[in-house]
Amino acid sequence: MAFLASVNVMLKEGIADPQGQTIERALPALGFSGVEEVRVGKRIRLLVDASDEHDARRQVEDMCERLLANPVIESYEVIVES
Partner 1 sequence: MTTATSLHRDLGLTDDEFQQICDHLGREPSYTELAMFSVMWSEHCSYKSSRGHLKTLPTEGPHILVGPGEGAGIIEVAPGVAVAWKAESHNHPSFVEPFNGAATGVGGIVRDILSMGARPIALMDPLRFGTLDDARTRYLVDGVVHGISSYGNSIGVPTVGGEAIFEECYAENPLVNVACLGVIEDRLMHGRAEGPGNVAILIGSSTGRDGIGGASVLASAEFDETSAEKRPSVQVGDPFAEKLLIEACLELIARGVFVALQDLGAGGISCPTSEMTSKANTGMRVDIDRVHRREPGMEPFEVMISESQERMLAVVEPARVDEVLDVCRKWEIEANVVGEVTPSDRVEVVSDGEVVADVPADALAEEGPVYERHLERPGWIDRLQMEDPGDAAPDRLEDAFFAVLSSPNIASKRWIWEQYDHMIFLGTLQGPGGDAAVIRLPNSDVRVAITTDGPGRYCYLDPYEGARLAVAESARNVACVGARPLAVTNCLNFGNPEKPDVMWQFAEVIRGMGDACRSLVTPVTGGNVSFYNETKGRAIYPTPVIGMLGSIPEGVPARGLAFVSDNEPIVLLGRTDDNDLGGSEFAKTVHGVVAGRPPRLDIEAEARLIDLLVELRDLASSAHDPSAGGLAVALAEAAVVGGRGFKLGPRNGELHRWLFSESPSRALVTCRPDDVEEVLERADRNGVPAEVIGTTGGDVLGFAGCDIPLTSVTEVYEGALVETLSSSID
Partner 2 sequence: MSGRVGIVVFPGSNCERDCEKAFRDLGAEPVMVWHGDRVLPDVDIVVLPGGFAHGDYLRTGALARFSPIMSAVRSHSGSGGLTIGICNGFQILCEAGMLPGALRKNTGLKFMCRTTRLRVANAETAFTSRADEGQVLRIPINHFEGNWYCSEDTLVSLQAKGQIVLTYLENPNGSFADVAGIVNEDGTVFGLMPHPERACEELLGSEDGAVILGSMLDHVTKRVAV
Under the binding rule (CB under 8 A), the answer on residue 43 touching partner 2 is no
Q: Which residues of 27-66 are buried (b: 16+ CB within 10 A; e: fewer)?
A: eeeeeeeeeeeeeebeebeeebebeeeeebbebbbebbee
Task: Output the smallest distance, CB 11 to partner 2, in A.
Answer: 8
By CB under 8 A, name the one of 16, 31, 34, 36 that touches partner 1. 16
How many CB atoms are closer than 10 A to CB 12? 12
Residue 75 partner contact from partner 2, its own copies, partner 1, none using kind-dependent CB cut-offs of 5 to 8 Å: none
Indicate which of partner 2, partner 1, its own copies, none lies near residue 48 (CB less than 5 to 8 Å, by partner kind). its own copies
